[in-house]
Structure 1
Amino acid sequence: MCPDHLDWTEKYRPQSLGDVVGNDAAVKALRQWAMTFGSGKRAVILHGSPGVGKTSAALALAGDMGWEYIEMNASDQRNKAIVQQIAGSAAKAGTFEGVAGRRLIVLDEADNLSGNQDRGGESAILNVIKTTDQPIILIANDLYALSKPLRDAALTIPFRAILSTSVARTLRRICAEEHIKCDPDALMKIAERTSDLRSAINDLQAAAQGKGEVTLADVATGERDVPETIFRVMDLIFRGKDMMEALKATYDLDMNPEDLIGWVDENLPREYKDDDLERGFEAASRADVYLGRVRRRMDYGMWRYAGFMQVCGVNRARRRRSGGYTKYSPPTYWKKLGWTKAARATRDSVAAKIGKACHASKKEARSSYMPMIQFLFEREDLAIRLSAELKLEEDEIAFLLGAKKASKKVGEIYKKSRELIVEEIEEDIDAFARFGKYGGPPAEGEPRKALIRAAGEEEEKPPAKKPEKLEAKPKRARRKARDGGEAAEPEPTAPEETPALQQLPEPPVETAITPEPDKKKQRTLFEF
């Protein structure tokens, strides 16, 4: 790419921490961490909205400190093996300047470690942080998308949105460098519609492309759709003075009212107190009523009323204003659903087995039968019998007992239930064998004699008959009789062939296989 068409965000990227626009407190904390590296945490997390200077500050720090740096971003594969190979070796190896030099590892978009391609990457990063003697900077838009162990292992430095006046000042400096005549109102218009400096620079470059002047008309037609974040929406709902502004912000939020009500419910007690809290929950409850009608009737037109109540109703419920910073958190029940996912799957599995045995639905088995089964499980003998009957696994037995899967009691019940299942199978096999031996109905396609042979009795085979030999008459005698000579003796004819089944004797009487009463006690079918 020729220099005339170079991306301005790269061309005017800060080369020193002193050139970073805004976030003076964050820049100061980052410089302090670098100057005292070795005495504190080895990694730092720079978090904040896109385009506020996080990556620029990290690279500018490397320039100020004279450090080499290695950067990994979202376009790179960042699974466990890759992180260990690149970041791990870079963190342990020296530099060309010897042991006195440092190599900075910059992991951009660390909160986007997800999917199969980045599997195990976060755990590998945590391991590198614990074992490295080199500085590491993690860059994230959402701090809480990172795991808690990773957040605890690093220093966190927030980057705030840049003031519009600071953005406009930077745009004016770029116009001067590019020898572009600019309208101050046009630059302020670009700066006001986004607090993202990178986006503002891109908008300026697009407006000035191929021209030597930027006017208000050039930027008025290029309005940018800025995606809202849940944290800004929460701030507008709880602290905003214009309820319609808060409502419009939810339209740009990638979240439906079903999820938004969870955020409102979770953070309402953090912001409101006393009467304000009561009125806020009253509005939120009305929104929940509308959402319930959506679920029952599939009438998604009710979302409009639910959104109005949970945003405008909650916003108007506040009478007293308070300052200070409030940390908004996602709904705790989302975490609980994650923690109880395995338990709920086990519960449903047990309910399905109970329902199959009792000819009931899974829902009915869970509500009506399962409490009774849990009560019966208090007796170990019944627990063994029921586990065998339902063919329960160890985790299912542990669920019904309310115990841990690895407990001794669960193991014993599972082992004895399996032994009971084996015993019942063996008894069934033995019973079927005896049933066939003592006169039971033969299996499909099995002849009656097979049952006799199964009983151990030998059939009486009749002696085989040898067919009589026929004497062959000479040809001359047969010709003479044909010509009218002596009467030819009638040729003996071969006896008619008798089917093999007709030659066999009658089958032995069935009672012949029954043991004699005086030798052995006669058994009855009830004994089987």
Structure 2
Amino acid sequence: MSWTEKYRPRTFEEVAGNKKAIEEIKKWIDEWKAGNPQPPLLLVGPPGTGKTTLAHIIGREFSDTLELNASDKRSQDAIRRTAGEASSTYSLFNHDLKLIILDEVDGIHGNEDRGGVQAINRIIKESRQPLVLTANDPYSKRLQTIKPKCKVINIRKVHTASIAAALKRICRAEGIDCPPDVLKELAKRSMGDLRSAINDLEAMAKGEESVGKELLDTGAKDAVSTIFDAVRAVLKSRDVVKVREAMRVDDDPTSVLEFIAENVPREYEKPHEISRAYDMLSRADVFFGRAVRSRDYTYWRYASELMGPGVALSKDETYRKFVRYSGSSSFRILRRTRKKRALRDSVARKMAGKMHISPRVAISMFPFLEIIFENDEMAYEIKEYLELTDEEVKLFRKRKIRAPERKKPGKKTETPGRPLPGPEKRDDEAGADKGRSRKSPEDGSERNRSHGQGEKKNKKNDEKPKEKQTSLFQFK
């Protein structure tokens, strides 16, 4: 049995450090036992600080414990089949409460774990049993929907003195003689990771009766800091060696730059210090851009020097004050605007395909489109041409585009020409006309006078606008 398991704490009193967190956990247990259901516990902290140990100690306070470890399958079906059913039922032999432990929930990722976060959220919503969740990264994207539903307790790194005391107890139990300065060096080397310190001691002293300083040189692990350790070292120290060691993080260096840029105004107070720090960060960002464009990632070392020691030396002196550091706000802004940026890119691609321009040029034309879209008719034509959806139209105007009303077809006009003939006369009317034509000359004179008057009337009619044609079939 390894020493980490052999000497794992069994009670809260045996746990090294985190006394305030333990008091909050005890109150949570008392509320459950009193019949007051509480939200799930989310224990967040670096590896080796005792999160899983605390979860197992909590489990001893209840009748039964079910643990779903990070090494298990964490797909939606697996989680609901194991933890989901257990969270909604009581124990078979004991009707008391049982504890459900979901270890390292921030490790759910990829296709194999698809739907795992949704399954955990559903368990939290429907559970009638106490739940304890553990995670290493408090700012993991996978915890965004889980954290608001839980009581978050931060488990901090164990103090060097507490680690040295725990190592001394182990040496006494194993009958090993180890100088205090060696134990202190092991505790300091572990950087708050108690489990790592116990493993180092076991590797050095197992099977030995005494341990000397010469064994410290047999090997030391490469310490990897978290992103917050790096930010704290940069902003709180002027020691270049210490800052360089802290900058060895297992995260994307551009994320480290964003975190440092977010917290510089919180730590530095003098304007010229803030100005110098941001000047260093801007130069580091230039080198990151060169690395991406040229695929030559040796530029990262220059960026690391600028955003690490460069920002650390921008301050005149270190500030002895407590500052609560926070994650980069740019990530939160990107999450909020994700949908809008997707619509923007979709419209830009459609414009690029129709207008034979690049998406970047298309995006630069958006302000002009907002002005053009104020006209309903032009907005409708552009929408139909680019085949935009109603959601994409909202980028340029808030109200919907109504289809223009179609004009009703007008009456066909007559072409100018001969006057339209009247209706055909009947036989009796034709005979009467012939009779009139055989009348006396007096009648002829009258007829001539009427003819003259008729010519005058025809002249007047010629001056008037001619009637419109109503049908093509009226022509002979």
2:165 pairs with 1:175 = no
> Does residue 267 of structure 2 align to residue 271 of structure 1?
yes
SS of aligned partner of 1:144:
coil
Superimposed CA distance per residue, residues 410-457 of structure 1 (whole angstroms, 9 cap, x where no aligned partner): 5x55xx89x9xxxxxxxxxxxxxxxxxxxxxxxxxxxxxxxxxxxxxx
Distance (whole Å) between structure 2 residues aligned to residue 394 and residue 170 of structure 1: 65
Normalising to structure 1: TM-score of the pair? 0.69
After superposition, the C-alpha distances for 1:136-160 in whole angstroms (9 at most, x for unaligned) are: 1111112222534422222222111
Do the aligned partners of residues 42 and 67 (structure 1) sit closer, same or farther apart at CA in structure 2, a change above 3 Å counting? farther
Alignment counterpart, residue 108 of structure 2, candidates 109, 113, 129:
113
Residue of structure 2 equivalent to 1:129: 124
Which residue does 1:82 correspond to in 2? 78
> In 2, distance between residues paired with 1:80 and 1:294?
39
Shift of 1:24: 1.7
- 1:235 matched to 2:236? The reply is no
User: In the TM superposition, what is the alpha-carbon distance from 1:209 to its structure 2 partner?
Assistant: 4.0
Question: CA 1:110/1:294 → structure 2, altered by over 3 Å: closer, same or farther?
Answer: closer
Counterpart of 2:57 in structure 1 is: 60
CA 361–143 in structure 1, closer or farther in 2 if over 3 Å, else same: closer
Using a 3 Å threshold, how does the CA distance of structure 1 residues 320 and 107 change in structure 2: closer, same or farther?
A: same
Q: Which amino acid aligns with 1:390?
A: L
What SS is found at the alignment partner of 2:13?
A: helix
Return the letter of the residue paired with 2:8.
R
- The superposition leaves residues 378-429 of structure 1 with CA deviations (integer Å, 9 ceiling, x where unpaired) of 2222222222222333433333x343xxx7x25x55xx89x9xxxxxxxxxx
Output aligned runs, 1:57-456, within 5 Å.
Answer: 57-63=54-60, 65-96=61-92, 98-99=94-95, 101-145=96-140, 146-194=142-190, 195-250=192-247, 252-255=248-251, 257-275=253-271, 276-291=273-288, 302-319=299-316, 321-368=318-365, 370-399=366-395, 401-403=396-398, 409=400, 412=402
Instruction: Indicate conservation of the 8 Å contact 2:62/2:98, yes or no.
Output: no
Cα shift at 1:223 = 0.4
Measured after TM superposition, the shift of residue 131 of structure 1 is 3.1
Q: In 2, are the aligned partners of 1:354 and 1:365 still within 8 Å (CA)?
A: yes
- Partners of 2:355 and 2:162 lie apart in 1 by 72
| Paired AA for residue 6 in structure 2 | K
Percentage identity across aligned positions? 34
Q: How does 1:505-524 map to 2 (within 5 A)?
A: none
Give deviations 1:267-318, integer Å, cap 9, x for gaps. Answer: 1122222434334334334444554555667775554443333222322233
Query: What CA distance in whole angstroms lies between the structure 1 residues aligned with 2:15 and 2:330?
Result: 40
2:106 touches 2:143 (CA, 8 Å); kept in 1?
no
Checking the alignment, whether the CA contact within 8 Å between 1:243 and 1:312 is kept in structure 2 is: yes
What SS class does the counterpart of residue 156 from structure 1 fall into? Answer: strand
Change (3 A) 1:358 1:95: closer
Structure 1: which 5+ residue stretches go unaligned? Answer: 1-5, 420-519, 522-528
Relative to structure 1, the CA distance from residue 36 to residue 357 in structure 2 (aligned partners, 3 Å threshold; closer, same or farther) is closer
Looking at structure 2, the residues matched to 217 and 316 of structure 1 have their Cα atoms a distance apart, in angstroms, of 36
Contact residue 42 and residue 134 of structure 1 kept, 8 A: no
Call closer, same or farther: CA 1:129–1:303 in 2, change over 3 Å: closer
> Contact 1:42/1:133 (CA < 8 Å) preserved in 2?
no
Distance 1:66 1:358 in 2: 68
Please give the alpha-carbon distance, in whole angstroms, between the structure 2 residues aligned to 1:265 and 1:157.
Answer: 27
CA distance in 2 between counterparts of 1:319 and 1:81 reads 56
Worse-matched range after superposition: 89-98 or 381-390: 89-98
SS of residue in 2 equivalent to 1:244: helix
C-alpha separation in 1, matches of 2:150 and 2:211: 44
3-state SS in 2 of match to 1:70? strand
Task: Say if 1:375 and 1:53 are closer, same or farther in 2 by CA, change over 3 A.
Answer: same
TM-score normalised to structure 2 length:
0.76
- Structure 2: which amino acid aligns with 1:135? P
Q: Provide closer, same or farther for how the CA distance between residues 166 and 293 of structure 1 changes in structure 2, counting only shifts above 3 A.
A: same
1:13 partnered with 2:13? no
Distance in 2 (alpha carbons) for counterparts of 1:177 and 1:214:
15
Amino acid at match of 1:234: V
- 1:235 deviation in Å? 0.6
Counterpart CA distance in 2 for 1:71 and 1:394 is 48
Instruction: Tell me the CA shift for residue 73 of structure 1.
Output: 1.3
Once the 2 structures are TM-superposed, how far is the Cα of residue 31 of structure 1 from its aligned partner? Answer: 1.5
Paired residues of 2:373 and 2:397 also in contact (CA < 8 A):
no
Q: For the residues of structure 1 that align with 2:308 and 2:345, how far apart are their CA atoms?
A: 37
C-alpha distance in 1 between matches for 2:82 and 2:164: 39
1:343 to partner: Cα distance: 2.9
Q: Distance in 1 between matches of 2:89 and 2:349?
A: 57
SS of the residue corresponding to residue 118 of structure 2 reads helix
Quick one: distance in 2 between partners of 1:94 and 1:291?
55
CA distance in 2, matches of 1:53, 1:356: 57
Give yes or no for contact 1:237–1:315 (8 Å, CA) kept in 2: yes
Question: Larger relative contact order (C-alpha < 8 A, sep ≥ 6)?
Answer: 2
Are the aligned partners of 1:41 and 1:153 in contact in 2 as well (CA < 8 Å)? no
- The one-letter code sitting in structure 1 at the alignment partner of 2:183 is L
Q: Per the alignment, do residues 360 and 36 of structure 1 end up closer, same or farther by CA in structure 2, a change over 3 Å counting?
A: closer
C-alpha contact 1:291 1:303 (8 A) present in aligned 2: yes
| Displacement after TM superposition at 1:60 (Å) | 1.5
How much does 1:229 deviate? Answer: 0.5
Q: 1-side partners of 2:392 and 2:350: how far apart?
A: 10
Tell me the SS of whatever aligns to 2:225: coil
Give the length in aligned residue pairs: 403
**CA deviation after TM superposition for structure 1 residue 345, in Å:** 3.5
Corresponding residue SS for 1:22:
coil
CA distance in 2, matches of 1:294, 1:117: 32
Correspondence for 2:417:
none
- Where 2:70 maps in the other structure, the secondary structure is coil
Amino acid at match of 2:9: P
CA contact (8 A) 2:31 2:38 kept: no
